[in-house]
């Protein structure tokens, strides 16, 4: 790496040991390089000077004015001391207010001199005032003009009079120092030319001190590309290394099980998306390399049948298969639906969970070893060491985000050659994110729901509407449908949340005396929980009051209403998962979001997204915009703590794709990055990721 990374910031003109310590502590800036790569997060336009007479409205941006101070008037005493100044530009007056440094401001600003003031005018007592404006003596040459970058600062820095301008001046001083000659562009000239990118030095100048909007945007584009390119390069390089090492079983033929089930067992035609995905999987299974595929599909899109057909291919080739589900309820449901399908072609299925008794466990162990059990369905119990296989060839993992990476790895060791792995998730992850986070997995998407599904009608309701909501639920029940009532439960608030749930249960029992009401929550013993769930699943109970334990996978097609209490406390993707529990049958289904009336605008937006859309991918994109990708479900569990400096996965999808393609092209030509240009890239890669987690090895 170029030695700007070794240049200690404390030797930069205008810094010194004290400020250096502050920069290191507050902004993690240690070297010249760190400073240059600390970009503004937004820009303000200082090219326009407004007339005070033109200021109107009550929600204004920051603006600048040119004029003179007319009066300075201190108010208040002690801690309440403040300074008011009247500022005139000849067209009108505006008030400036300071709460700090009253004395020094009063001493340094003069009446009669021309100043530029900058800040956000707020309506106040029939006029406008600006709190803590930026003030500069007006010189036609040095007045700030054009775009000015705004940097992230901390309170501590602000208290020490560190402003965006301070940082800008420091950057300018690096750019003027002889050290800058050591700056080397990590991107090759070929790449710059191909993507029409600004060279590094120009880009640094234009991102900190842009001459025009266009240059600023080109600089941003370059740094986004650079960041994403190295991210992808790192992922793909590691994946290539791993794939090269891992051969896989070849499932060459399609036999009686698959064909027999396809002809006699399928109760519905597959959707186009299901067929396409099965083709993608078949190509993997025949390739001679281990499959690591992520199957994404919105709730209800029909992933189970795809998994089942894949398992039949394994069996046709003489191998065994398993499905691992995150909860006992889900494993049991899979067992029920899959053993029914498997019976059509005489395939033997077992169920292994934490509550499987000793005798049944022994029988399963024996059956797996002698190969008489061809499919095993279960919870984590099936990765225990005592579970030995005759010839495990395929492992399906349902609802991926509940499983850690380490658990996936344990599955691999169940055979001398690691089995093929199909990971299914209903957490719709935006494509840009999955390409990056699951860069090591190939991704298939079922982007089509089975025909005849009606989108779930979603409504937002408040406490005052409660009777009307119950009335509606009653109507559905009378038509023979079932209902979920869901309560939030978070650990910090567990006691109160459980009380809410139990109070709710009481109310529901009283409101619907003629129906059977059951409840489940995560604190119940599995046996008890399963018994209650079973009552609901079989239709013996009509209302299920529950916490989010029902979020994943539960399939009761007759349930047509879901009421979500305190919906404002749920995240978007969680709401979407929950809502996916209804709308699984042919009837119109409903989701009612109950919320407090007083909620923040972000929360209102979130709930409105749910009302407006049933598309899991759209919702995931919105979620990512609201929360930032670091918080997305699935990214944390994947063990990747990553933060991007400038690129934004939610909005920079096209750049991600471009960077990914380019990284692949580079690695196809030079897999070990050994060419002279490859070495430059590799050095930078080591500089960037050498200290951090090695993403590619994570799964």
Q: With CB under 5 A as the contact rule, which of the stretches 59-67, 160-168, 546-554, 556-564 interacts with Mg ion?
A: 546-554
The answer to whether 133 contacts Mg ion (rule: CB under 5 A) is no
State the nearest-atom distance from the C-beta of 4 to Mg ion, in Å.
Answer: 51
Find the binder of Mg ion among 553, 583, 616, 634 (CB under 5 A). Answer: 553
- Tokens 């079922």 -> residue: 446
Q: Which helix (H) or strand (E) holds 310?
A: helix 303-316
Is the dihedral angle over the CA atoms 64, 38, 658, 572 positive or is it negative?
negative
The answer to whether 501 contacts ligand ADP (rule: CB under 6 A) is no
The alpha carbons of the chain give a radius of gyration, in whole angstroms, of 31
State the nearest-atom distance from the C-beta of 302 to Mg ion, in Å.
Answer: 9
**What three-state secondary structure class fits 61?**
coil
Find the binder of ligand ADP among 214, 268, 275, 413 (CB under 6 A). Answer: 268
Q: Which is nearer to ligand ADP, 299 or 520 (CB)?
A: 299
Find the binder of ligand ADP among 146, 318, 450, 522 (CB under 6 A). Answer: 450
The answer to whether 428 contacts Mg ion (rule: CB under 5 A) is no
Instruction: Quote the CA–CA distance of 567 and 546 in Å, as a whole number.
Output: 14
Instruction: Quote the CA–CA distance of 239 and 224 in Å, as a whole number.
Output: 22
Q: Which helix (H) or strand (E) holds 351?
A: strand 349-352
Dihedral, CA atoms, 506, 508, 510, 512, nearest 10 degrees? Answer: -150
Q: Which is nearer to ligand ADP, 555 or 589 (CB)?
A: 555
* Token digits of residue 396: 């399906």
Site mask for ligand ADP (CB under 6 A), range 372-391, x = bound: --------------------
Instruction: Quote the CA–CA distance of 139 and 203 in Å, as a whole number.
Output: 28
State the nearest-atom distance from the C-beta of 432 to ligand ADP, in Å.
Answer: 22
The binder of 299, among ligand ADP, Mg ion, none, by C-beta within 5 to 8 A per type, is ligand ADP
Q: Which is nearer to ligand ADP, 301 or 560 (CB)?
A: 301
Cα separations in angstroms, 627 against 19, 48, 399, 621: 33, 34, 22, 10
Q: Which is nearer to ligand ADP, 418 or 428 (CB)?
A: 428
Q: Which is nearer to ligand ADP, 304 or 595 (CB)?
A: 304
Q: With CB under 6 A as the contact rule, which of the stretches 295-303, 605-613, 625-633, 683-691 interacts with ligand ADP?
A: 295-303
DSSP secondary-structure letter at 262?
A: I
Decide: 361 and 334 in contact? Cβ < 8 Å.
no
State the nearest-atom distance from the C-beta of 304 to ligand ADP, in Å.
Answer: 3
Find the binder of ligand ADP among 290, 548, 555, 574 (CB under 6 A). Answer: 555
Closest residue to Mg ion, judged by C-beta, is: 553
Q: With CB under 5 A as the contact rule, which of the stretches 369-377, 551-559, 592-600, 645-653 interacts with Mg ion?
A: 551-559
The answer to whether 300 contacts ligand ADP (rule: CB under 6 A) is yes
Residues 6+ apart with CB under 8 A from 553: 325, 327, 329, 330, 333, 398, 399, 426
Read out DSSP for 512-544?
-TTS-EEEE-TTS-HHHHHHHHHHHHTTS-SEE
The answer to whether 299 contacts ligand ADP (rule: CB under 6 A) is yes
State the nearest-atom distance from the C-beta of 274 to ligand ADP, in Å.
Answer: 6
* Token digits of residue 96: 């400036």
Decide: 68 and 112 in contact? Cβ < 8 Å.
yes
The binder of 302, among ligand ADP, Mg ion, none, by C-beta within 5 to 8 A per type, is ligand ADP
Query: Angle at Cα 189 formed by Cα 183 and Cα 193, nearest 5°?
Result: 130
The answer to whether 305 contacts ligand ADP (rule: CB under 6 A) is yes
Nearest Cα residue to 289 out of 238, 235, 232, 242: 242
Cα separations in angstroms, 597 against 461, 470, 490, 600, 668: 9, 18, 21, 10, 56
The answer to whether 99 contacts ligand ADP (rule: CB under 6 A) is no
Q: Which is nearer to ligand ADP, 300 or 378 (CB)?
A: 300
Instruction: Quote the CA–CA distance of 410 and 347 in Å, as a whole number.
Output: 26
The binder of 430, among ligand ADP, Mg ion, none, by C-beta within 5 to 8 A per type, is none
* Token digits of residue 553: 């996978």
* Token digits of residue 681: 């890239």
Q: Which is nearer to ligand ADP, 415 or 434 (CB)?
A: 434
Read out DSSP for 460-512?
EEEGGGHHHHHHHHHHHHHTT-EEEEE----GGGHHHHHHHHHHHHHHHHHH-
Q: Which is nearer to Mg ion, 119 or 553 (CB)?
A: 553
Is the dihedral angle over the CA atoms 40, 44, 47, 49 positive or is it negative?
negative
Closest residue to ligand ADP, judged by C-beta, is: 302
Binders in 578-607 for ligand ADP, by CB under 6 A: 584
DSSP secondary-structure letter at 419?
A: P
The answer to whether 67 contacts Mg ion (rule: CB under 5 A) is no
The answer to whether 304 contacts ligand ADP (rule: CB under 6 A) is yes
Residues 6+ apart with CB under 8 A from 159: none
Q: Which is nearer to ligand ADP, 186 or 553 (CB)?
A: 553
Q: Which is nearer to Mg ion, 220 or 327 (CB)?
A: 327
Q: For the chain, how far is it from start to end, CA to CA, in angstroms?
A: 28
The answer to whether 270 contacts ligand ADP (rule: CB under 6 A) is yes
Binders in 401-440 for ligand ADP, by CB under 6 A: 426
State the nearest-atom distance from the C-beta of 535 to Mg ion, in Å.
Answer: 21
Q: With CB under 5 A as the contact rule, which of the stretches 207-215, 355-363, 549-557, 691-699 interacts with Mg ion?
A: 549-557
Counting residues that bind Mg ion (by CB under 5 A) gives 1
State the nearest-atom distance from the C-beta of 306 to ligand ADP, in Å.
Answer: 8
Q: With CB under 5 A as the contact rule, which of the stretches 86-94, 257-265, 550-558, 645-653 interacts with Mg ion?
A: 550-558
Decide: 629 and 650 in contact? Cβ < 8 Å.
yes
Residues that bind Mg ion (CB under 5 A): 553
Residues that bind ligand ADP (CB under 6 A): 268, 270-271, 274, 297, 299-305, 426, 450, 555, 584
């Amino acid at each position: 790496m170029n030695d700007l990374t070794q240049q200690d910031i404390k030797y930069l003109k205008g810094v010194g040991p004290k400020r250096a310590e502050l920069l290191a502590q507050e902004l993690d800036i240690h070297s010249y390089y760190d400073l240059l790569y600390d970009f503004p997060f937004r820009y303000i336009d200082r090219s326009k000077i407004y007339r005070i007479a033109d200021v109107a409205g009550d929600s204004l941006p920051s603006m600048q004015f040119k004029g003179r101070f007319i009066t300075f008037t201190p108010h208040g005493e002690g801690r309440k001391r403040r300074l008011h100044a009247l500022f005139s530009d000849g067209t009108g007056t505006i008030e400036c207010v300071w709460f700090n440094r009253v004395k020094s401001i009063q001493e340094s600003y003069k009446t009669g001199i021309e100043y530029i003031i900058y800040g956000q005018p707020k309506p106040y007592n029939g006029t406008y005032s600006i709190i803590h404006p930026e003030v500069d003596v007006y010189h036609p040459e040095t007045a700030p003009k054009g775009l000015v970058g705004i940097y992230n600062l901390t309170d501590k820095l602000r208290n020490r009079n560190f402003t965006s301008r301070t940082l800008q001046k420091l950057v300018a001083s690096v750019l003027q120092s002889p050290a800058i000659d050591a700056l080397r562009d990590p991107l090759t000239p070929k790449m710059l030319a191909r993507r029409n990118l600004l060279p590094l030095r120009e880009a640094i100048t234009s991102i900190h001190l842009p001459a025009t909007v266009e240059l600023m945007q080109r600089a941003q584009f370059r740094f986004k590309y650079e960041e994403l390119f190295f991210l992808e390069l790192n992922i793909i390089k590691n994946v290539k290394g791993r794939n090269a090492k891992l051969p896989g079983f070849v499932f060459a033929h399609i036999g009686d099980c698959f064909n027999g089930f396809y002809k006699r067992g399928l109760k519905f035609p597959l959707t186009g998306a299901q067929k396409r995905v099965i083709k993608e999987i078949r190509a993997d299974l025949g390739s001679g390399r281990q499959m690591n595929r992520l199957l994404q599909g919105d709730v209800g899109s029909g992933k189970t049948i795809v998994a089942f057909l894949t398992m039949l291919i394994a069996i046709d080739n003489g191998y065994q298969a398993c499905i691992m589900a995150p909860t006992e309820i889900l494993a049991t449901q899979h067992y029920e639906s899959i053993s029914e399908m498997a019976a059509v072609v005489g395939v033997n299925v077992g169920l292994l969970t934490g509550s499987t008794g000793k005798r049944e466990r022994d029988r399963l162990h024996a059956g797996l070893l002698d190969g008489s059990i061809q499919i095993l369905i279960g919870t984590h119990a099936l990765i225990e060491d005592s579970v030995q296989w005759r010839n495990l060839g395929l492992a399906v993992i349902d609802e991926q985000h509940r499983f850690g990476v380490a658990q996936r790895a344990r599955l691999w060791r169940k055979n001398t050659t690691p089995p093929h792995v199909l990971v299914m998730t209903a957490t719709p992850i935006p494509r840009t994110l999955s390409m990056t986070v699951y860069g090591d997995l190939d991704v298939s998407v079922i982007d089509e729901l089975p025909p005849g599904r009606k989108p779930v009608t979603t409504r937002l309701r408040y406490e005052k509407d409660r009777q009307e909501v119950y009335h509606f639920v009653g109507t559905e029940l009378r038509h023979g449908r079932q209902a979920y009532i869901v309560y939030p439960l978070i650990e910090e608030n567990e006691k109160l949340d459980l009380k809410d749930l139990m109070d709710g249960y009481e109310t529901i029992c009283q409101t619907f005396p003629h129906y059977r009401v059951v409840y489940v929550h995560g604190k119940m013993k599995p046996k008890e929980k399963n018994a209650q769930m079973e009552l609901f699943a079989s239709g013996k109970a009509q209302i299920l009051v529950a916490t989010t334990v029902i979020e994943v996978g539960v399939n009761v097609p007759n349930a047509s209403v879901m009421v979500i209490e305190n919906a404002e406390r749920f995240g978007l993707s969680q709401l979407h998962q929950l809502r996916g529990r209804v709308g699984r049958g042919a009837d119109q289904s409903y989701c009612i979001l109950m919320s407090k009336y007083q909620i923040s605008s972000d929360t209102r937006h979130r709930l409105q997204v749910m009302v407006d859309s049933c598309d899991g991918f759209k919702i995931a994109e919105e979620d990512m915009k609201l929360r930032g990708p670091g918080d997305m479900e699935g990214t944390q569990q994947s063990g990747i703590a990553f933060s991007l400096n400038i690129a934004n996965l939610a909005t920079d999808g096209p750049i991600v794709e471009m960077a990914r393609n380019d990284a692949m092209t580079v690695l196809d030509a030079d897999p070990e990055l050994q060419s002279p240009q490859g070495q430059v890239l590799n050095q930078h890669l080591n500089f960037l990721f050498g200290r951090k987690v090695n993403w590619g090895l994570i799964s």
